[in-house]
Amino acid sequence: MTTPASAVSGHPTASPQPGTGRCPAGAGRSAVPLSGPGFHTEPHVVYRAMRSEHGPVVPVELPGEVPAWLVIGYRELHQVTSDGELFPRDVGLWNQWGNIPEDWPLLPMVGRPMPSIYFTAGAEHRRHAAMVGQALEEVEHFELRRDCEELADRLVDGFCERGAADLIADFAVPLPVLVLARLVGFPDADGPRIAEVLGHLADGGPGAQEAHLRFGESMRRLLAARRASPGNDVTSRMLAYAGEFTDEEYVLDLMAITAAGHLTTADWIGNSLRLMLTDDQFAVALTGGRHSVAEAMNEVLWEEGPTQILAGRWAARDTRLGGRGIRAGDMLLLGLGAANADPHIRQHLSASGGPSGQRGNSAHLAFSHGEYRCPFPAQEIAEIIARTGIEVLLDRLPDLELAVPVPELVRRQSAFLRGMTALPVRFAPVRPTGDPS
């Protein structure tokens, strides 16, 4: 569950100092704008062109002519994410703060210094990660699968008699948030409300700021409820952890866990279903080949990972990377999707078997790498939610087929996130699970 562009944001607890405003060396007219249809139609073509012209570290331009570096080389990205001292996730180091307006559209993704697992660095990050990691490690996987099956069945019951559905809106998007809401300790009745709030946050539209405030209030109420009456949930385990945290820290970490796990897991489900519905290599999954479900999900993490570009790291001092001069305070964006397609790593993987060379190989960077990567317990939780949900759907509706031609399927228009806006299907209508007739 890497932090997506829709990850929770908030007001800064410490105001960053205005930077020097220096552009990264080599940026300017040669910088590649991180926008345009190529990123959501044929991103690998865009990345190949970048690699051919600029090499493994690309000068890019964000909205508002904000400069940054996009790391698209597998080895270079591994180097950046392995060196937390030279390339910390410390947004306070950014040398562009003096040029960033309060309404900059990517501010929720980049973040501001705040006491949260996703926006702290060094020892403070490790303090939060230890608390969150322990709470997630204690999630019982058998119970989690049972919850996923129950909630997935409930969603399928909502459309199974129609003979048609949009698997994104009707299934892939609501399932992770319903499971995560139960996991952190919300009553089931609150699940749809949390799903609605996170939907507004993910859209990033006019309602995003109000949704953020509502999301925070929901987490504060949950925190108070679990402090008064602890249960077998993530929030209660965080409160019981042997460490001192403020209510603000608990709330921000809970918001981060839920928001970061929502859309990325939804896109993992949606992209995997799309692959199984459109690629003959994985069609066996639709007729009961459960091993093929796992293979399709792994293929998606290599080819169409939900998080394509992740912010970010900031250079602690002047250095060089991939032949580029990186200045202190420059922002480096992690090109996870591009790095997975790096021809150097693909050549190495080609001997591992499988049509794409990575069947069974999990050396992808879909969850990032290093100290700030998605915590392993969170990866396991996301995998259980996605795989269980897909298996329940295919068990219930084994004759699923696309309701539109493949070229009409539309991707989310983002360079940072890879997901479907809709996945219309048709199938033979079936009775709900609770229908005795």
b/e for 206-233, b at 16 or more Cβ within 10 A? eeeeebbebbbebbeebbebbeeeeeeb
What pLDDT score was predicted for residue 205?
59
Q: At what angle are helices 247-278 and 376-396 packed, to 10 degrees?
A: 40
- Cβ–Cβ < 8 Å for 312, 324: no
Q: Residue 214 is encoded by which pair of tokens?
A: 């509502």
Predicted confidence pLDDT, tens digits, the chain (437 residues): 565 444 444 333 333 333 444 445 444 448 999 988 888 888 889 999 999 999 999 999 998 899 999 999 999 999 999 998 999 988 999 999 999 988 887 887 787 778 888 888 888 989 999 999 999 999 999 999 999 999 999 999 999 999 999 999 999 999 999 999 999 999 988 888 888 887 777 665 566 678 878 889 999 999 999 999 999 999 999 999 998 999 999 999 999 899 888 889 999 999 999 999 998 877 766 665 656 888 899 999 999 999 999 988 999 999 999 999 999 999 999 999 999 999 887 776 655 544 444 555 678 888 888 888 888 899 999 999 999 999 999 999 999 999 999 999 988 888 888 999 999 999 999 999 865 54
Q: Which residue has the tokens 């139960």?
A: 182
Quote the pLDDT of residue 289. 60
Q: What pLDDT, on a 0 to 100 scale, did the predictor assign at position 381? A: 96
Q: What is the pTM of this model?
A: 0.88
- As given in the structure block, the two tokens for residue 271 are 């992209």
Q: How far is CA 356 from CA 72, 273, 359, 364, in A?
A: 20, 18, 7, 13
What's residue 292's pLDDT? 83
Amino acid at 289: G
Q: Does 32-426 carry CATH code 1.10.630.10? A: yes
Contacts of 393 by beta carbon, 8 Å cutoff, 6+ apart: 152, 156, 167, 171, 273, 400
Cα 25 from chain centroid?
A: 30
Q: If you search the block for the tokens 């060379």, which residue do you land on? A: 357
Query: What is the residue extent of each domain of the chain?
Result: 32-426
Give the residue among 367, 376, 313 at the shortest CA–CA distance from 339: 367
CA distances from 388 to 277, 335, 397 (A): 17, 29, 14
CA 43-49-54 angle, to 5 degrees, is 120
Q: What would the two tokens of residue 120 be?
A: 């702290």
**C-beta separation of 419 from 271 below 8 A:** yes
